[in-house]
A and B are shown apart, each in its own frame.
Chain A
Amino acid sequence: MTTTTTLSVRLESDILAARQHGREVAERVGFTGSDLALIATAISEVARNIVVHAGGGAIMISELSDGRPGIEIVARDDGPGILDVELAMQDGYSTVDSLGLGLPGARRLMDEFTIESQEGHGTTVVMRKWIRTQPGQG
Chain B
Amino acid sequence: MSVPILKQGPFLIATIQAALSDAELQALQDELSERVGRHRTRGVVIDVGAMDVLDSFATRSLRVIADVLHLRGAETVIVGVQPEVAFAMVRMGLNLQGLSTSLDLEGGLALLSNGHRSS
Contacts and interface: CB of A to CB of B under 8 A. Distances in A.
A73 B74 CA distance: 41
A36 interface: yes
B84 A44 contact: no
Interface stretch (B5-13, B36-44, B90-98, B110-118): B90-98
Interface stretch (B18-26, B65-73, B101-109): B18-26
B3 interface: no
Contacts, number: 71
Given A13-B21, A45-B55, A105 B93 contact: yes
A104 interface: yes
A126 interface: no
Interface in A38-81: 38, 40-41, 44-45, 48
Contacts of B53: 19, 37, 40-41, 44
B60 A99 contact: yes
A97 B94 CA distance: 16
A67 to B, nearest CB: 25
A44 B60 CA distance: 14
Contacts of A105: 55-56, 92-94
Given A36-B84, A40-B52, A98 B91 contact: no
A104 B22 CA distance: 21
Interface of A: 12-13, 16, 19, 23, 33-34, 36-38, 40-41, 44-45, 48, 91, 98-99, 101-102, 104-106, 108-109
Interface of B: 19, 21-23, 52-57, 59-60, 82-85, 87-89, 91-94
23 contacts: A12-B21, A16-B19, A16-B21, A19-B53, A37-B84, A37-B88, A38-B87, A38-B88, A40-B52, A40-B53, A41-B89, A44-B53, A98-B60, A99-B59, A99-B60, A99-B94, A105-B55, A105-B92, A105-B93, A105-B94, A109-B88, A109-B91, A109-B92
Given A101-B56, A102-B56, 14 more contacts: A12-B23, A13-B21, A37-B85, A37-B88, A38-B87, A38-B91, A40-B52, A41-B92, A48-B55, A48-B57, A91-B93, A106-B92, A108-B91, A109-B88
Across the A-B interface, the 5 shortest Cβ-Cβ residue pairs: A105-B92, A37-B84, A34-B84, A44-B55, A37-B88
